[in-house]
A and B are shown apart, each in its own frame.
Chain A
């Protein structure tokens, strides 16, 4: 169990700058998730932690120990690859034992540890099979087992669930978090899937174009996104954005959206940025689940519905406001139909500086 500390790490491949000064701190025993769109640098950061790539600048510490320039084998880590990377010519047992054998572990200890891990992951009946005779889910478990059996100080996961079907993915996600809680080692997990990020993480790092846009507990990041990018990246369906201008109305600030005179009140005390002054151009963000059917007269605006998705537990009504597409996630009983104009109120909104994309909280 080690604390992972990445300080101002940069990484370039030729002229391409993939990481542009990244700081990451994962407390010992914590589960950190690096999340972001493809090309954001999250996998590169993981490979730097593993020692599979050299940093261009900056340092990496595991606990007190600086590992920046150490070989992978000197870092006391285990990694689960997206492709699982099982050794095709070795049986499941030998795959599990591979790392221990390299470290000249005693045969009796190897046997005992392999059996223990096989029991933990339900691999007992598969020990003598070759990887090609396993299903995708079984391979994934062998890859997990191969990491666990070595009892490393740090687990690295590179999108380990992306080759599984949806049902299995949800199951294994729970298993991974349970194993983490059981084993207690620090974990760093890379994914582009926000559901995995939200559900697994103690601390989440949202990366975009080589920088950490925001770090924090998943719910904090979800509820108070620091940038427009983070707000748009997390949540499904994605947050709605409408351009607007801040205006004063008495002693209260409101945000006027679009060309009409529709305007929304800005809750007092919630947005405290000194930049928030009348005339400022902003992006207003509202999550689909924060749009609710309003009682007559209390609506913030009316949405003319041009498309409806029936999901069972909820209805997603699509329309537009001031030229921007809007999705509202409504209760199924609301019975919204195509062609309806439905009155909506806003439970909660986000404001971002239109220039910088920074939150105005």
Chain B
């Protein structure tokens, strides 16, 4: 079997292609480097410079953001810890709920014929056409009526409504790419349909499910507008809302903002690092057969 790496590339071609790649990497990383520089910068006001190198390097901003505390119910609570936990719990729950609902739905849409299938798919697609902001006010009223304002459960419910349709579309493509023969072979081998699904289809779809869960996690983790609308109390904030609080109407704490942004990105970067192998396989699994 030939590997892509087996081919000898002329040196000049290799250099050129690396140069182009490097250019794109620099282009996309430049703003990120600025954020990093700012987070470690001791100087009071950021100034426009070409190279993003920290002035008077310091860890103060990071420490200040991490160590934020508040008096809650008579006790001193670690506010940043709570907010981080909010973000992680809400995002994980969204990913879990999204995948749990979307997996069987996507499988049914991929494999079975039933009344209302096409109409259902169109409706699912329609939900993807509206920006989340459009539903912010109705959602606020709904959650208010349910007593779920200012709660993680309420936020997860809202996030799941947008995560599920997208997850269904992604997983449906993944299930369609799995040959029906596999399930039929399992059923001839002695499996019920449920066993065939559990023992053959699910393992084969694992990369796609992992990617779908990651997408749901990411979109919940990064979401700002709904969180800002539905969460009123500081100790219930998710991290994007926290970040926004550093930029006021008359005053912007850029260093704290940058330090916060850096901290907020760490879990996501770790997650991507761990799942990158699945990610590449999963992103292509819908499109390529066999």
Contacts and interface: CB of A to CB of B under 8 A. Distances in A.
Contacts, number: 62
Interface centre among A72, A78, A82, A89 (most CB of B within 10 A): A72
A99 B203 contact: no
A87 B184 contact: no
A141 interface: no
Contacts of A146: 185, 189
A79 interface: yes
Interface string A150-170: 100000100000000000000
Instruction: Provide the main secondary structure of the chain B interface.
Output: helix
Interface in B205-249: 206
B161 interface: no
Q: How large is the interface on B (under 10, 10 to 19, 20 to 34, 35 or more residues)?
A: 10 to 19
Interface string A102-131: 110000000000000000000000000000
A52 B200 CA distance: 17
B185 A102 contact: no
B211 to A, nearest CB: 16
Interface residues of A, number: 23
Contact of B188 (A79, A82, A83): A79
Nearest to B200: A87
Given A83-B179, A88-B204, A102 B191 contact: yes
B192 interface: yes
A85 interface: yes
A341 interface: no
Contact of B182 (A85, A103, A150): A85
A81 B199 CA distance: 19
A73 B179 contact: no
A83 B206 CA distance: 21
Interface centre among B189, B190, B191, B199 (most CB of A within 10 A): B189
A89 B185 CA distance: 14
A82 B182 CA distance: 11
A348 B27 CA distance: 81
Interface centre among B179, B185, B191, B195 (most CB of A within 10 A): B185
A89 B204 contact: yes
Given A87-B200, A89-B203, A89-B204, A73 B190 contact: yes
B132 interface: no
A102 B188 CA distance: 11
B3 to A, nearest CB: 14
Given A85-B179, A87-B200, A89-B203, A73 B192 contact: yes
A103 B188 contact: no
Nearest to A146: B189
Contacts of A50: 184, 188
Contacts of B185: 79, 81, 85, 87, 146
Contact of A99 (B181, B189, B192): B189
B157 interface: no
A51 B184 CA distance: 10
27 contacts: A52-B184, A52-B187, A52-B188, A71-B187, A71-B192, A72-B184, A73-B187, A73-B189, A73-B190, A73-B191, A73-B192, A78-B189, A79-B184, A81-B181, A82-B181, A83-B179, A85-B184, A87-B182, A87-B186, A87-B203, A88-B182, A89-B203, A89-B204, A89-B206, A99-B189, A102-B191, A102-B199
Given A71-B192, A81-B185, A87-B186, 14 more contacts: A50-B188, A51-B187, A51-B188, A52-B184, A71-B187, A73-B187, A77-B188, A79-B188, A83-B179, A83-B181, A85-B185, A87-B185, A98-B189, A146-B189
10 closest Cβ contacts across the A-B interface?
Answer: A99-B189, A85-B181, A85-B185, A102-B190, A89-B203, A73-B190, A72-B187, A79-B188, A72-B188, A81-B181
